[in-house]
């Protein structure tokens, strides 16, 4: 406490060092133990006590009844016998190793990403993480559902942890790793598609994408590292880049066909056999990844001053939003082939993904536009006064802040999209819900609908909650102005 001294001649005394909280008279924070809390809040009066007891009995009855039912009366055979079909539809069982490889790739990339994102953390495997992993492993071993596949699941968990640790090391050594991981996910998407589809490697879409990526990389590196003094620098850069891209691409394209014995591949599995959780995830991920940039473009287009762009964006958004998703999916199945050249018949799954994407993009555009409107005018003024043009202002200043504001709405739309995959049963795709309903038609499982639907409800819930939790973590990381 300082001396309030009025006389002008006294030099002020320095403030004494701070006292302990008790001496300072800090507010006493008392933390009640559970018993004391219970006494204070639940049993403090006769009415509250009776209400507490009644509610506890009801809740207890419900919970215990459910648990008893789950462990004794329920016929889980529908789930355990058909686990493969819940997970991957009508996929031939002899090709299940491909599904497991897909899972392995996903866990590998997830582990790498986790390690890269947490590269500054001192100890990645701290107690909560270890407990979580241990619990999952225990579940896998104990549950009769997963017992046959325990080995595969443990290998996946091992991949996750191993790659996470590797990712930390890589992240600390190579600063570019964070950008390259997106490229990794991009390539693994096509690797997963190839594993599902099969066919010759050299004719696959995965190889096409890899060719393009490699050619671009080679061209880029060539233009950066080699210089021809005789020509002006811009000409060498463009020329070397183009040369690198074209030559690498041609070599990679023709080489497998000229060297004999490079026609290996795996058996083709038709898309009509894809189904279950695998198909649901494929549709949802494709839809989410594609609709996000389209939504951003539409939102910016709607706010643009150019009349054609704005007119088109408004027309798109209002038309698509005014129609139910099912009708868009039906129209997609019929109309999309009409827009493409004669003879091409895009796969049913492609048409479904296009329909989902177009639908979600319209809603996303409005969510992002809400975020754009929340950016104060001063931000664009500051950016313009620094000399940034409209494009740079939007890309560097406005969009990052707008998307951060719109994250709750955007993630809500993604969760909706995930659950809208169930509607695709109407256009003939065997996603998880339709698969379940098909299984319940047979005589042996016809009464077990509660078990089956509870099971897939749990799966849907896990994925939707994972998205929700992920978005909370992203928001916490981005909340730079509230630290």
Partner 1 sequence: MTQSEMPRLNVERSMTPRDRSGNEAVIVAQDVHKWYDNGFHVLKGVSMNVYKGEVVVVMGPSGSGKSTFIRTFNALEPYQEGSIAIDGIPIAHDLKDIEAVRREVGMVFQQFNLFPHLTVLKNVTLAPLWVRRWPQGKAEEIAMRLLERVGIAEQAQKFPGQLSGGQQQRVAIARSLAMQPKVMLFDEPTSALDPEMVREVLDVMRNLANDGMTMVCVTHEVGFAKEVADRVVLMDGGVLVEENTPDAFFNNPKEERSQAFLSQIL
Whether 345 contacts 337, CB under 8 Å: yes
Is 356 a residue that touches partner 1 (CB under 8 A)? no
Is 179 a residue that touches partner 1 (CB under 8 A)? no
Q: Out of 207, 404, 408, 427, point to the residue binding partner 1 (CB under 8 A).
A: 404
Cα separation, 165 vs 130, whole angstroms: 13
Report how many helices (DSSP H) and strands (DSSP E) the chain contains, helices first: 20, 4
Whether 398 contacts 380, CB under 8 Å: yes
Q: In the complex with partner 1, which residue's Cβ is closer, 202 or 404? A: 404
Q: In the complex with partner 1, which residue's Cβ is closer, 31 or 483? A: 483
Q: In the complex with partner 1, which residue's Cβ is closer, 163 or 397? A: 397
Smallest gap, in angstroms, from Cβ of residue 117 to partner 1?
18
Smallest gap, in angstroms, from Cβ of residue 172 to partner 1?
18
Q: In the complex with partner 1, which residue's Cβ is closer, 175 or 229? A: 175
**Long-range contacts formed by 79-83: CB under 8 A, 24+ apart:** 79/145, 79/451, 79/452, 79/455, 80/144, 80/145, 82/439, 82/445, 83/145
Q: How far is CA 239 from CA 194, 211, 225, 229, in A?
A: 34, 19, 13, 13
Smallest gap, in angstroms, from Cβ of residue 375 to partner 1?
10
Mention every residue, 6+ apart, whose C-beta is less than 8 A from residue 420: 325, 356, 359
Identify each DSSP E strand in 276-434 by its residue range. Answer: 430-431
Q: In the complex with partner 1, which residue's Cβ is closer, 310 or 404? A: 404
Is 396 a residue that touches partner 1 (CB under 8 A)? yes
CA nearest 301: which of 375, 364, 210?
A: 364
Smallest gap, in angstroms, from Cβ of residue 402 to partner 1?
10
Smallest gap, in angstroms, from Cβ of residue 396 to partner 1?
7
Is 482 a residue that touches partner 1 (CB under 8 A)? yes
The window from 37-45, 172-180, 343-351, 400-408 that contacts partner 1 (CB under 8 A) reads 400-408
Is 120 a residue that touches partner 1 (CB under 8 A)? no
Is 386 a residue that touches partner 1 (CB under 8 A)? yes
Is 389 a residue that touches partner 1 (CB under 8 A)? yes
Size of the site for partner 1 (CB under 8 A): 23
Smallest gap, in angstroms, from Cβ of residue 136 to partner 1?
35
Smallest gap, in angstroms, from Cβ of residue 175 to partner 1?
12
Is 385 a residue that touches partner 1 (CB under 8 A)? yes
Cα separation, 438 vs 174, whole angstroms: 50
CA nearest 373: which of 302, 453, 473, 470?
A: 302
Whether 53 contacts 64, CB under 8 Å: no
Smallest gap, in angstroms, from Cβ of residue 474 to partner 1?
13
User: What region does 345 belong to: left with phi over 0, alpha with psi -120 to 50, or beta?
Assistant: beta
Q: In the complex with partner 1, which residue's Cβ is closer, 397 or 439? A: 397
Cα separation, 36 vs 143, whole angstroms: 38
Q: Out of 338, 341, 378, 477, point to the residue binding partner 1 (CB under 8 A).
A: 378
Smallest gap, in angstroms, from Cβ of residue 223 to partner 1?
17
For the residues of 137-181, what is the DSSP string, one character each?
A: HHHHHH-TTTGGGHHHHHHHHHHHHHHHHHHHHHHHH-TTHHHHH
For the residues of 355-376, what is the DSSP string, one character each?
A: HHHHHHHHHHHHHHHHHHHTS-
Is 384 a residue that touches partner 1 (CB under 8 A)? yes
Cα separation, 331 vs 316, whole angstroms: 15
The window from 231-239, 276-284, 463-471, 474-482 that contacts partner 1 (CB under 8 A) reads 474-482
Is 481 a residue that touches partner 1 (CB under 8 A)? yes
Q: How far is CA 256 from CA 47, 144, 203, 244, in A?
A: 81, 46, 9, 19
> Strand pairing of 265-266 and 199-200?
antiparallel
Is 381 a residue that touches partner 1 (CB under 8 A)? yes
Check residue 19 and report its DSSP letter. Answer: P
Is 7 a residue that touches partner 1 (CB under 8 A)? no
Is 159 a residue that touches partner 1 (CB under 8 A)? no
Is 401 a residue that touches partner 1 (CB under 8 A)? yes
Q: Out of 324, 400, 428, 442, point to the residue binding partner 1 (CB under 8 A).
A: 400
Smallest gap, in angstroms, from Cβ of residue 383 to partner 1?
8
Is 387 a residue that touches partner 1 (CB under 8 A)? yes
Is 483 a residue that touches partner 1 (CB under 8 A)? yes
Whether 124 contacts 168, CB under 8 Å: yes
Is 382 a residue that touches partner 1 (CB under 8 A)? yes
Smallest gap, in angstroms, from Cβ of residue 389 to partner 1?
6
Q: In the complex with partner 1, which residue's Cβ is closer, 123 or 305? A: 305
Q: In the complex with partner 1, which residue's Cβ is closer, 61 or 479? A: 479
| Bridge partners for 275 per DSSP | 430
Smallest gap, in angstroms, from Cβ of residue 400 to partner 1?
5
Residues that bind partner 1 (CB under 8 A): 376, 378-379, 381-389, 392, 396-397, 400-401, 404, 478, 480-483
């Amino acid at each position: 406490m300082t001396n309030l001294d009025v006389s002008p001649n006294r030099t002020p005394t320095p403030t004494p060092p701070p006292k302990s909280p008790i001496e300072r008279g800090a507010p006493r924070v008392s933390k009640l133990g559970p018993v004391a809390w219970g006494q204070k809040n639940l049993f403090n009066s006769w009415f509250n006590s009776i209400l507490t007891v009644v509610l506890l009995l009801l809740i207890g009855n419900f919970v215990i009844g459910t648990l008893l039912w789950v462990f004794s009366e329920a016929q889980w055979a529908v789930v355990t016998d058909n686990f493969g079909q819940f997970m991957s539809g009508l996929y031939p069982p002899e090709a299940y190793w491909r599904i497991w490889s897909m899972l392995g790739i996903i866990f590998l990339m997830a582990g790498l990403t986790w390690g890269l994102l947490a590269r500054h953390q001192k100890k990645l495997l701290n107690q909560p993480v270890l407990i979580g992993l241990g619990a999952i492993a225990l579940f896998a071993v104990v549950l009769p559902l997963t017992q046959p596949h325990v080995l595969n699941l443990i290998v996946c968990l091992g991949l996750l942890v191993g790659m996470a640790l590797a990712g930390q090391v890589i992240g600390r050594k190579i600063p570019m790793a964070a950008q390259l991981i997106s490229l990794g996910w991009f390539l693994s998407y096509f690797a997963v598609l190839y594993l599902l589809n099969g066919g010759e490697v050299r004719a696959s879409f995965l190889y096409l994408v890899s060719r393009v990526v490699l050619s671009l990389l080679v061209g880029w590196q060539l233009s950066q590292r080699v210089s021809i003094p005789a020509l002006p620098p811009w000409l060498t850069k463009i020329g070397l880049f183009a040369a690198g891209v074209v030559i690498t691409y041609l070599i990679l394209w023709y080489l497998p066909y000229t060297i004999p014995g490079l026609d290996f591949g795996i058996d083709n599995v038709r898309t009509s056999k894809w189904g279950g959780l695998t198909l649901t995830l494929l549709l949802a991920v494709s839809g989410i990844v594609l609709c996000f940039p389209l939504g951003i473009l539409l939102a910016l287009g709607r706010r643009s001053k150019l009349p054609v762009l704005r007119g088109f964006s408004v027309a798109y958004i209002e038309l698509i939003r005014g129609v139910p998703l099912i009708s868009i999916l039906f129209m997609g199945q019929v109309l999309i082939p009409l827009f493409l050249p004669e003879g091409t018949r895009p796969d049913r799954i492609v048409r479904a993904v296009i329909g989902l994407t177009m639908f979600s993009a319209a809603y996303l555009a409005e969510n992002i536009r809400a975020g754009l409107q929340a950016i104060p005018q001063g931000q664009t003024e500051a950016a313009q006064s620094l000399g940034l043009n409209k494009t740079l202002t939007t890309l560097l200043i406005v969009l990052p802040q707008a998307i951060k504001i719109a994250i709750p709405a955007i993630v809500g739309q993604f969760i909706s999209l995930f659950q809208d995959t169930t509607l695709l049963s109407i256009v003939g795709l065997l996603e998880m819900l339709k698969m379940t309903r098909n299984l319940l038609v047979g005589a042996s499982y016809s009464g077990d609908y509660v078990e089956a639907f509870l099971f897939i409800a749990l799966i849907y819930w896990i994925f939707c909650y994972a998205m929700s939790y992920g978005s909370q973590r992203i928001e916490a990381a981005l909340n730079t102005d509230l630290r």
